[in-house]
Structure 1
Amino acid sequence: MALCAGIWAILLQLALLLFFSPPPGHCQGERSRLQFTQPLYHASVYENSAARTYAASQVRMGIPLQHHSWEVRYRITSGDEEGFFKAEEYTLGDFCFLRIRTKGGNAAILNREVQDNYLLTVKASIKGDTLEAWTKVSVQVLDMNDLRPLFSPTTYSVTIAESTPLRTSIAQVTATDADIGSNGEFYYFFKERMELFAVHPTSGVVSLSGKLDVDTQSRYDLEIQAVDRGMKLYGNNGVSSTAKLFVHVERINEHVPILSIVTLAPVWTEKSPVIAVVTVEDLDEGANGEIEAVSIVTGDLLELFSIERTEMPSEELVDEEVTQKGSREFVLRATEQFDWDSYPFGLNLSLQARDRGTPQKFSAVHTVHLRLSRPAPAEVIFQKDEYEVLLSEVAPPGTVVEAVKLQPEPDDAEYILTPSTDSGFFSINTMTGVISTARWLTQLTQEVFELEVLEVDSDLRVKVRVILEDANDNAPSFAQQSYEVFVNESVAVGTTVVVVTASDGDHGENGYITYSMASLTPLHFSVQQFTGAVTTTQELDFESSVESFSFVVRASDWGSPYRRESEVNVTVHLENVNDNKPLFEKVACVGVISRDLPVGEVITTMSAIDIDELELVKYKILSGNERGYFDLNPDSGVMTLHHSLNTAAPKNSFSLKITATDGEHFSDPMFVNISVVQGKSPPKSFSCTETRVAQRLAEKLLKKAKASSKPKMEEGFIDLFSVNRQTPQFDKSFPTDITVREDVQVGTSVFQVKAFDGDTGVSQRCTCVVL
């Protein structure tokens, strides 16, 4: 309806223009000439217009009709390569209007950003005549707010100092919009309210509006949106564009390093003794708080001193802050060439520290006065008053036990072991004082060895106490090579069927044993990990499962570095028990027999099954046969007529209650209802309800057969991982000799021995010793 009303409004306007407009002058002189009112018309249409949208023009477009018989047709001949427009004619009175509209069925739509003007050439012709006329129509495509602002780039990142002044411009974001006029004008704003930053709505300049604190927050992720000012094409659902600005805040280098120096009494036996410890503190964070170096500013013209950074302590004793900033402790050393006797009054050194901050800052110069005198020769003694060493009992011959040494050590020191019962198990290097094992110690019951080391020249003695540590060199051993038990199938779940026990010759956790099942398949049994008691986890049934279960129980100690294990085979045989009562194959039998049935004739047959090894079943009539008309064979279950039914006019129906027994258990009773009829009825006819007991028996037998046919993976199990078959082998690249510098420091690694063993587990672990 709204569309029709709009069309009628346009038609009314055209009619008024035609009525009040004077006839064109050229039509008065030439009545037979076909001509447009103007050679060029101007019209406009909005971009993204729907199909059949008419272009608007401020003047009427078309041709005056000089003859009422003219049928004018318009056609666009050029200027519309994409096929966006269609020319239509509309005759009203003596004027044929030219109307330009958008076409339907075109996948493309008008887009001002692609082309904003089309110059169409329109041809007019008269049906059935050769008269033609041409004009041009300039169609201006008007802008709609169909594009949103776009940021370029969409991500910005800046780094600013924590002390940046307020109102400082820190970044600028830029966006563009292909629309024109107010549709192409946009403003910036933060997606979320920000207290520390502000963005200029038109320029996109981001400035600081609050005080920064890197301890509170060192990074800010700002989202800036740009929204144009034009009316949205689809109401208020226009979507703005978003850019991200990452602001990183850095702490400035505010504080200078602070020096503190503590002088020490040097160890004169060292070539470069430490004479002072320098500690530097810097209250800044990060790189600003890291100390680059401490240098000697004045007082060391001959370069007789050096400053070294101390090594980092172990990770267990250092906190996170020290790890990040590095060691802040330095030592002041005197070189070997320095002669303290040349400086009887001492000397002054001026030290200064510098950090790694930006800008770099230096500490105040700190002057330290050094005045030392070489002490008298130190007393020669052993490094320890008494040595106590822990040694593994599996240490091979040649294992280093301890190194005893005099301090200060004379150049010609000679060490020997004082002969004793314990010294025969050890040897000592006379030059270095290194004590090592001379034989295997695993077979000894002795746990403590008392040794005495003598330095020959000084006649000094020191005690060395060697304590053997238990090693996990024994595997658990079971009390039996295998276990075999017989179990009643009716035992309750959780019943203990056997207890396996194992012992271990080691001590402590190396000799502590736990038990576990080593089976690869689920079993009906479990083992208590601490006691070794094997218990049932499921109900046992002789009729539906295998008659014997074989599995492996594993005993593991708690030793280190590898636990040792042993395994034993356990076989559990099930004993059958008469725990099932007989079951009838058919129950609730109803039948009809003739009164003339001969005596001894078979009426029906009872059939019951005992699942317990298919025991023999006996049958018996419990009630309903008080007059003895029927006879039931106790072995076969065949029911026959015992007395004639014609002799004594018995009743017309019988309800016999029958049971079956295996000698110990009775079945649930079943009933046989017999009706006696006369005439030509069939001699006997019975119908019963099937109990499917035979099918269930077959299923149990099949289940048992399948269980018995499964391969027993545990049988023949060999523990390949606990056998030490291979001997260790040195790497082929093992050299026959190595070269070592004479000034190498004690404890320096000079060569790495490589060896391998083809065994697995603890058996592949190699220990190398120097013989």
Structure 2
Amino acid sequence: MWHTVLFFVVLSSHSVLGQVSYSIPEEMAKGSTVGNIAQDLGLDLKRLKSGKARIFSGDSTEYIELNKEKGMLLIKEKIDREALCAKTTPCALHLQMILENPMEMYTVTVEITDVNDNAPFFQTDEISFEISESAVTGSRFMLDGAVDADVGTNGLQSYSLKPTDHFVLEFQNHANGVKSVEMVLQKPLDRENKERFTLMLTAIDGGEPVLSGTVQIHITVLDANDNAPVFTQKVYKAVIIENSPKGSKLTTVSASDADEGANGKVTYYISKVDDDIKDFFTINKENGEISLIGQIDYEKTSHYQLDIKARDQGGLSDSCKVIIDVLDINDNKPTITIMSMSSSISEKSPSGTVVAMLKVNDPDSSANGRVQCSISEHIPFVITSPSNNFFSLRTEQELDRERESEYNITVLCSDEGVPSLSSSASLRLLISDVNDNAPVFERRSYEAFVLENNTPGLSVFTVKASDADSNQNARVSYILDDSAVNGVPVSSYVSVSADNGVISAVRSFDYEQLKDFHFRVKAQDGGSPPLSSNVTVRIKIQDQNDNAPQVLYPVQTGGSVVAEIVPRSADVGYLVTKVVAVDVDSGQNAWLSYKLQKATDRALFEVGPQNGEIRTVRQVTDKDAVKQKLTVVVEDNGQPSRSAVVNINVAVADSFPEVVSEFSDFTLSKEYNDNLTFYLVLALAAVSFLFITTVVVIISVKIYRWRQSRIFYQSSLPVIPYYPPGYADTGVTGTLPHMYNYDVCMTTNSRKSDCKYSTLGGQSVLVVDQSFSETLQRAMKEKNLVDDPDSPDLVRAWPHNFADLRNVSTRWT
């Protein structure tokens, strides 16, 4: 059963070389179907007709024909594989199918598989041996092998010998695939017992059904001949140049025989004489000299093998092989065949359009058979080789009939032999006119860069288009296509000069708002009707360091003091807090570094230059002040650089009362809130307004506050207002807060008061509201609830029922 293999190789946008392969057995009847080439190549039957599809074989023998009506490949002539390829495998026909309008070429390979239609046969009707009765066991006698024109399993496979009373067969497989057979004596001969006998040698192939051929071997037993001839070499090699004259000597084989007289005289002959050997070589029977008697052509056969036999008068023999290699000479010119050609082509045809297809054949080998083709210079055509032996002549660039209306193209094909041989072919091509030259931009797309904060009206970039036409048809105008950038017309961003294509910025750009945008520019000529082309222009905004870093944490509050609590038991490397900052610039302008500018005790704290983490440098001691103030500078890497400053209050303490006492005075003494006066005046004005408008409300409020203060002094649940700062989690980018609660439990003895709180990375934040501190002190003084009137400590001014204070909630961020 035959089969089809199909694949494609893309050569260009206008010429596709498709290849389809079929496999069929030999001896198919005329008219048999090879394959449906239209279906296998995906071609419509109308395309076969309109393209004038035809099969090109390259030689005079046409075995395959095309039926365009059905798209089928048919057997035109019965194919004999042995006559076509002899022993060559695989055996294949290489054809081309040509289509026109547009021009396309498809390669068709038809492999001819072997059928077992040839039986093995011997070239002689009988084989005769004269063997001395003294021949020792193991003596070998070379037999002329059979010939089978089939190949593979259908070829010669084995031999059999009958009867086998005195002789057995032995086989030797050689590197070239040839199998030789020898007859080996296994039982001594006795002339007195039997002087003559006949053996039957059968050659068998491997086909189905099995075919065979036979030959008779006549054995004549002679009186004793003690020694058989022996060749000096088992394999001889010779080299001959093709076209050598007749009579040229190739080599000489030599065998010796230790016997004397007639039994020692050796004669030589070629034991296996094929048709391709007997017409070219001969051997001198007396001296073993091998000579040339025919015309050797490398292109037909490049390798020969001779089986030489040496026999003495007593019937003993020996064999050897002579391998002859033929050397190629450059004796064949390349042959140029024009497979298809267009007589005219439009000037509008794109680059790469196929004009003609050529097949160039050189039967020589190696460099002698390698062909290169070229054409005249300074013409807009190029010749390429899509596959071996095939060449395509195609346009290399756009054609212009106004410059050249006709081309006479000479194709020169030369081989690489020494000396080189060449052939040429002339082609005449007319250019048909089309008046359609549109402007062409120098690039397919443009990209420009502009620094942010630019001056409006700045020239950003220039686009350039050219038109191959002349006069008015070559006058190019530039137009900005209508489009939008972030919902705003692109004309509010850039403008383009109609005369010279200069693109200018209409506004000043801000990198933080717009990083890049693109638009299209149309180039239109002055022809009628006008022709145009478009190009995309991308504008990229480059960043400047125009934004200072912004500190996200800690948040600087005006009405309360944010303090990070560090226990006195903190070890070295204790994480106090982390400064979190961002910079809306990009690149190195947004690379931030952190530096500790000021500190109450520089030996106690340090800040990570890359991550902003504030950690202790040494062990905290009892001698360290409770109140610590740090100033951290956040600086970007721009040129020039910008920075931001953040102040951080740190409380070094183990108990809540100590922190409250210290930071109450600290809060009252600090005056770095620039808007404090403004808020006080505003509060006074509001109170005055309320007092004037409604005295009743003021009196009610006073009474209400007096009652509340009474409840406050009698209650154990003082409410401490708290306004938490924003805090970004260490090691995490973002501002999403986490909620934490802690409880404060105190007794009437402040030394036994305790503060239990939840921590984040070992950090604590305490917030003491300034207004609460002032109100608390004023209330205690008025009610004379102070245990020790001489003590300035805020905690000592706490009421006696302070032990009942519970559930004071704060929030961590």
TM-score bucket (shorter structure):
under 0.3
TM-score by structure 1 length?
Answer: 0.28
Say which structure is richer in helix. 2
